Amino acid sequence: MTAYAEKLLSQESELRALREAIQVRLDELLPAGGERDMVRAAMREGALAPGKRIRPLLLILAARDLGCETPHQGLLDLACAIEMIHAASLILDDIPCMDDALLRRGRPTIHRQFGENVAILAAVALLSHAFGVVAAAEGLSSQCRNQAVAELSGAVGLQGLVQGQFLDLNEGSNARSPEAIATANDLKTSVLFGATLQMAAIAAEAPLTVRQKLRCFAEDLGQAFQLLDDLADCQSGTGKDLNKDHGKSTLVAMLGAEAVHQRLHEHLRNADEHFAYACRDGVATRQFMHAWFNQQLASFR
Amino acid sequence: MTAYAEKLLSQESELRALREAIQVRLDELLPAGGERDMVRAAMREGALAPGKRIRPLLLILAARDLGCETPHQGLLDLACAIEMIHAASLILDDIPCMDDALLRRGRPTIHRQFGENVAILAAVALLSHAFGVVAAAEGLSSQCRNQAVAELSGAVGLQGLVQGQFLDLNEGSNARSPEAIATANDLKTSVLFGATLQMAAIAAEAPLTVRQKLRCFAEDLGQAFQLLDDLADCQSGTGKDLNKDHGKSTLVAMLGAEAVHQRLHEHLRNADEHFAYACRDGVATRQFMHAWFNQQLASFR
């Protein structure tokens, strides 16, 4: 085996171990309840169902690249909190009065499994649990935990997920400029990536200049991610409803798939540069990002 | 004017001033947006519409009784955060898949004014903003803010509002024992009162024994509050839908109004004793509680 292949294999096995650790910790943070404990079951299904775990992986890899010690429990907890917020946002995006989706991660959406009211309560409980998990994260100073809570709060609200979902609901079916679409994508995706990277920087006690660069990284990464999601919407085998974006003004509908591919690569190049600038020593985050996008894009062919 | 009447008047004017300060700060924390900023408008309507402001008033009065200095900005922010959580829970309780209510505080419910999806997004944004406000509260140590975030998180989730709402939805129309009803009432009401009092104690840096007694106080206060709410459901002029509890198994339906009045007074007596034990010097909280219940009960006659 070549040295390169060996390196790839070792990365792959490290990612598997990290994914497993995230899954185990999520399971601990969201213990199963009794048979009638429907909200708890819906929370578990929302957060524990097989997923890509991009955000928690990014958080841990970036924190390490930035010099954080081998993942302590606190870092894992921040990672799980980000995944809970993400899971809550997916549950809410899917409910009948939002996107009314049938499938998510290859399974019936949470409201179809548990009813709409339980789905909403589970999302609210996941959100508030995430804040509690951050506030209690071991091995982090109180000041760090407060900063992390503030980052999460900003990412969910009117400058983040909530506003992104509203713009998408409200203006998605109207003709929008590429800039307006980019703004909505930024709120829907980049802002939570932003909080993910800021929490990594907080855990690693990175200086302000680094944190600023990581915001730029998250912005480009989020844009690339959203473009990938739009491209995937035309593909089968994603585990989600197909053509949910039909009638919505997306960049794919406006510019065509080829131009979107180009934009995506441009965002990835920018993201790579930003991260390299923020962190000269670590390469795990950048390798992870490239490997993941390459894999996803290859599956479209 | 007698000394007693003067004292009552001075209390009344102090409460008015506090209510005004809470309203002004809520308005600052939830600034108005543009005409198309529907989620922001719904958040403001949910949190700023005239309300009793029991929880934020309790928080400030109890913190003062416990020795906290004249209300600094941080204390006011904790109070506003509690009110935001409360407002979010009311918005969610009212949506069609929950209680499907038409009126709240004498106005059309938020989903009737703004649509169901905007209502849900506004509730989520209020919730997450509340955590951000606590994490950034001035004049409190990082450790205090952390503890306050943890208290809030606990009060919203599976040990609090979410579970209370679920029990009410799921089991409210079945025959329940008085104990099962008390448990649901505890989760629906006492737990947020509990967080309110704990946040007051955190701000005042009260010792653990006091915090324990305040939990007992909050439990009795919450029970009394919920019984008052059940009694009010049979009255007009509350600004809410009447007979929303029709078909639900409440203690009023089970034991009759007279017995519920008796239970209510028992809880108030217990609450009074707990607070007196927790705090020998301050009387503002107890006076406020008694005056408020007397006023509400008088309006039923």
Q: Which DSSP symbol is given to B189?
A: I
**What's the token pair of residue B245?**
């509890």
Q: Which of B39, B134, B158 sits opposite A39 (nearest CB)?
A: B158
Closest Cα to residue A160, out of A181, A122, A186, A129?
A186
d(CA A267, CA A273): 10
Q: With 90 as the cut, is the pLDDT of residue B205 above it?
A: yes
- Between helix A161-171 and helix A142-156 the angle, nearest 10°, is 10
Q: Each residue of A228-268: pLDDT tens digit?
A: 988 887 765 556 665 565 556 677 888 888 999 999 999 99
User: Which comes out higher in pLDDT, residue B106 or B196?
Assistant: B196
Burial of residue A20, with CB atoms counted within 10 A of its CB: 0-12 exposed, 13-18 middle, 19 or more buried: exposed
d(CA B84, CA A2): 59
What pLDDT shows up at residue A199?
97
d(CA B154, CA A125): 9
Residue A198 CB neighbour total at 10 angstroms:
24
- Burial annotation A155-176 (CB, 10 A radius, 16+ → b, else e): bbbbebbbbbbbbbbbbbeeeb
Contact A136 B150 (CB under 8 A): yes
Mean pLDDT value across residues A56-80: 91
Q: With 70 as the cut, is the pLDDT of residue B242 above it?
A: no
- Whether A142 has its CB under 8 Å from any CB of chain B: the answer is yes
Q: Which of A121, A149, A162 sits opposite B125 (nearest CB)?
A: A162
Q: Is the dihedral of CA A229, A235, A237, A243 positive or negative?
A: positive
Q: List the domain boundaries for chain A.
A: 3-298
Q: Which of B128, B134, B170 sits opposite A127 (nearest CB)?
A: B128
Q: With 60 as the cut, is the pLDDT of residue B246 above it?
A: no
Assigned CATH topology for domain A3-298: Farnesyl Diphosphate Synthase (1.10.600)
Range list of β-strands (E), chain B = 103-104, 107-108
Phi first, then psi: give them for residue B108, nearest 5 degrees: -55, 140
Confidence of residue B233 (pLDDT cuts 50, 70, 90): confident
Any idea which architecture B7-299 has in CATH?
A: Orthogonal Bundle (1.10)
Q: Each residue of A133-175: pLDDT tens digit?
A: 999 999 999 999 999 999 999 999 888 899 888 888 887 667 7
* Chain B residue with minimum CA distance to A33: B158
Written as one string, the DSSP assignment of chain A is --HHHHHHHHHHHHHHHHHHHHHHHHHHHS----TT-HHHHHHHHHHHSS---HHHHHHHHHHHHTT--S--HHHHHHHHHHHHHHHHHHHHHHSTTTT--SEETTEE-HHHHH-HHHHHHHHHHHHHHHHHHHHT-TTS-HHHHHHHHHHHHHHHSTTTHHHHHHHHHHHTTS---HHHHHHHHIIIIIHHHHHHHHHHHHHTT--HHHHHHHHHHHHHHHHHHHHHHHHHTTSS-SSS-TTTTTTS--HHHHH-HHHHHHHHHHHHHHHHHHHHHH-SS--HHHHHHHHHHHHHHHTT-
Q: Which of A39, A127, A141 sits opposite B163 (nearest CB)?
A: A39
Distances (CA, A) of B203 to A57, B169, B196, B206: 36, 35, 11, 8
d(CA A31, CA B236): 44
What pLDDT shows up at residue B41?
96
| Interface with B, mutate which of A82, A86, A90, A97 (most B CBs under 10 A) | A97
d(CA B131, CA B144): 13
**What's the token pair of residue A290?**
């490239």
d(CA A220, CA A218): 6
Determine if residue A199 is left, alpha or beta; phi over 0 gives left, psi from -120 to 50 gives alpha, anything else beta: alpha
- Whether A192 has its CB under 8 Å from any CB of chain B: the answer is no
- Whether B129 has its CB under 8 Å from any CB of chain A: the answer is yes
Contact A145 B141 (CB under 8 A): no
Contact A128 B98 (CB under 8 A): no
Closest Cα to residue A196, out of A160, A166, A167?
A160
Interface pTM, i.e. ipTM: 0.93
Dmax (CA) of chain B? 54
What pLDDT shows up at residue B224?
95
d(CA A297, CA A174): 28
Residue A197 CB neighbour total at 10 angstroms:
32
What pLDDT shows up at residue A176?
79
Is residue B149 within a helix (H) or strand (E), and if so which, with residue range? helix B142-156
Q: How does strand B103-104 pair with strand A103-104?
A: unpaired
What pLDDT shows up at residue B229?
86
Q: With 60 as the cut, is the pLDDT of residue B157 above it?
A: yes
d(CA B62, CA B215): 13
Contact B162 A39 (CB under 8 A): yes
| Interface with A, mutate which of B39, B118, B124, B168 (most A CBs under 10 A) | B124
Q: With 90 as the cut, is the pLDDT of residue B174 above it?
A: no
| Interface with A, mutate which of B153, B169, B202 (most A CBs under 10 A) | B153
